[in-house]
């Protein structure tokens, strides 16, 4: 654990590192969140595990979630991100965080929250979703997610943009290094 603390900060007291790996379904959020957490010796959590059963049923039936469905879910994720007792070094969460208002709600939960945005061509994402099994999110909902997505802009300097066209190992290395170095500066 001491090595992780030293790796994250070379000077001053250790601050918790909280990260949301975001993007549409099929972009690789869960895989990257787990890999980044492992690289940084942090815990990880898949935000999908915090959906209510009713929300999972809606999505499994091909019905997109409305904001009213998402607010309580985002609040549960925010509570996990802010929980310094359970996650003293920090936490990496996989969460779509498609809209700016969602990201802002998460930002209010914990100071210094960072985002890793996984972006890529819709055709690549669709092919990944088509080959995925055992997940409640059907590929039919990809279009609704792409329509809802508000890509982070330059006014969100706490977001690291990564293209999913790179290998998983490369994305994990790049994200872990950038997160170790500190806030994103554009």
pLDDT tens digits, one per residue of 126-179: 887 765 555 555 566 778 888 889 999 999 999 999 999 999 999 999 999 999
Task: Name the pTM for this structure.
Answer: 0.85
Model pLDDT, residue 6: 37
Give which of 48, 40, 49, 166 is closest to 114, Cα–Cα. Answer: 40
Is pLDDT above 60 for 10? no
Lowest mean pLDDT among 2-16, 114-128, 169-183: 2-16
Give which of 154, 78, 64, 63 is closest to 117, Cα–Cα. Answer: 154
pLDDT tens digits, one per residue of 51-94: 999 988 888 788 888 899 999 999 999 999 999 999 999 999 99
Model pLDDT, residue 161: 96
The span from the CA of 23 to the CA of 28, in Å, is 8
Mean per-residue pLDDT, 29-55: 94
Sketch the domain layout of the chain as residue ranges.
Answer: 2-181
The domain 2-181 is placed in CATH, from the list 3.40.640.10, 3.40.50.1370, 3.30.70.240, 3.40.50.300, at: 3.40.50.300
Model pLDDT, residue 158: 94
* Residue 12 burial (C-beta neighbours within 10 Å; 0-12, 13-18, 19+): exposed
Mean per-residue pLDDT, 3-7: 36
């Amino acid at each position: 654990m001491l090595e992780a603390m030293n790796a994250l900060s070379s000077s001053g007291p250790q601050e918790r590192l909280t990260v949301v790996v975001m993007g549409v379904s099929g972009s690789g959020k869960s895989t990257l969140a787990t890999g980044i957490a492992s690289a940084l010796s942090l815990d990880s959590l898949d935000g999908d595990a915090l959906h209510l059963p009713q929300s999972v049923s809606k999505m499994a039936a091909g019905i997109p979630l409305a904001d009213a469905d998402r607010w309580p879910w985002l609040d549960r994720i925010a509570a996990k991100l802010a929980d310094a007792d359970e996650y003293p070094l920090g936490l990496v969460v996989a969460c779509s965080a498609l809209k700016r208002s969602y990201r802002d709600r998460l930002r209010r939960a914990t100071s210094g929250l960072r985002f890793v945005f996984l972006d890529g061509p819709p055709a690549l994402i669709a092919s990944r979703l088509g080959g995925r099994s055992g997940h409640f999110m059907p590929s039919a909902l990809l279009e609704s997610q792409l329509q809802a997505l508000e890509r982070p802009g330059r006014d969100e300097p706490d977001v690291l943009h990564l293209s999913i066209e790179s290998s998983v190992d490369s994305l994990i290395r790049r994200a872990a290094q950038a997160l170790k170095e500190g806030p994103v500066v554009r």
